[in-house]
Amino acid sequence: MAQEEGGSLSRVRARVGASHGITDLTQKLHFYDRWAPDYDQDVAALQYRAPSLAVDCLTQALPGPPEAALILDVACGTGLVAAELQARGFLRLHGVDGSSGMLEHARARSLYQHLSLCTLGQEPLPSPEGTYDAVLMVGALSDGQVPCSAIPELLRVTKPGGLVCLTTRTNPSNLQYKEALEATLDKLEQAREWERLEARPVDRWELATSKLEAVPGTPDGAGFISGIVYLYRKRQAAPAEGGRPRAQPRTGL
């Protein structure tokens, strides 16, 4: 039995390692379409913690009753983040993803009120400005997935005073992307578009796909890669002339 489990984990590591190596978006989306039926069990085998870590971070900062918050899950995949949100009482959930195969599995779980096919970075999110109390993007910030240039689009659909929660890996193969991501995040903060509430490093993000990716000092065969959770609050609209706040668009939601 132990040999069988070890062989299964080896296959999962090979598959996830292959996904990390795909930098062409079209190829990456096709990969995810094929991966969708096995995705949940594969990431569970890797002890993937990003969905629960991100939702924990968000819920500690989001005011008001959870059932009242309208939340967008960007790059929602099969619904792992939505499952974490629903377990904490969040019920008004929308999701978008660029993989039709992933969306098919997310739809079957009946966790979202609304799901849309959207390839962020190539097209805008299908929502008006200032729609959501919180926006999350978990696991999609890396080469070949969502480009850093798409981050302002997340901010656009967030309500003034709303929260944006993001995650990325900090293992060696993703450090160049992380550097570019943080430059984008900092630029938006310097422009007073949002304020950083937290940047939470995590050592045990998921099991490494190779020894080279593992956090130094972890045992061979059980090493974890590291990651980070970012949490931002969108700034309130600046007062218009005469001291009155600018009107925000009505969403009807």
CA nearest 136: which of 229, 226, 199, 67? 229
The CB density around residue 183, as the number of other CB atoms within 10 Å, is 10
Residues 160-201 pLDDT 10s: 999 999 999 999 999 999 999 999 999 999 999 999 999 999
- 34 and 101 Cβ atoms separated by less than 8 Å: yes
CA nearest 33: which of 130, 117, 90? 117
Question: By percentage, how much of the chain surpasses pLDDT 70?
Answer: 88
CA nearest 69: which of 168, 1, 5, 165? 165
- 75 and 145 Cβ atoms separated by less than 8 Å: yes
Per-residue confidence at 217, pLDDT binned at 50, 70, 90?
low
- 31 and 19 Cβ atoms separated by less than 8 Å: yes
Residues 97-142 pLDDT 10s: 999 999 999 999 999 999 999 999 999 999 999 999 999 999 999 9
Per-residue confidence at 230, pLDDT binned at 50, 70, 90?
very high
- 204 and 127 Cβ atoms separated by less than 8 Å: no
The CB density around residue 246, as the number of other CB atoms within 10 Å, is 11
Tell me what pLDDT residue 221 has: 53
Structure tokens at 14: 């090979």
Structure tokens at 42: 């594969």
Residues 50-71 pLDDT 10s: 999 999 999 999 999 999 999 9
Tell me what pLDDT residue 208 has: 92
Average pLDDT in the 217-237 region? Answer: 84
> Average pLDDT of the chain?
90
Q: d(Cα 14, Cα 25) in Å, to the nearest integer?
A: 19
Cα-trace Rg, the chain: 18
pTM reported for the whole predicted model = 0.89
- 123 and 147 Cβ atoms separated by less than 8 Å: no
- DSSP character at residue 59: H
Per-residue confidence at 211, pLDDT binned at 50, 70, 90?
confident
Q: Is the pLDDT of residue 144 over 90?
A: no
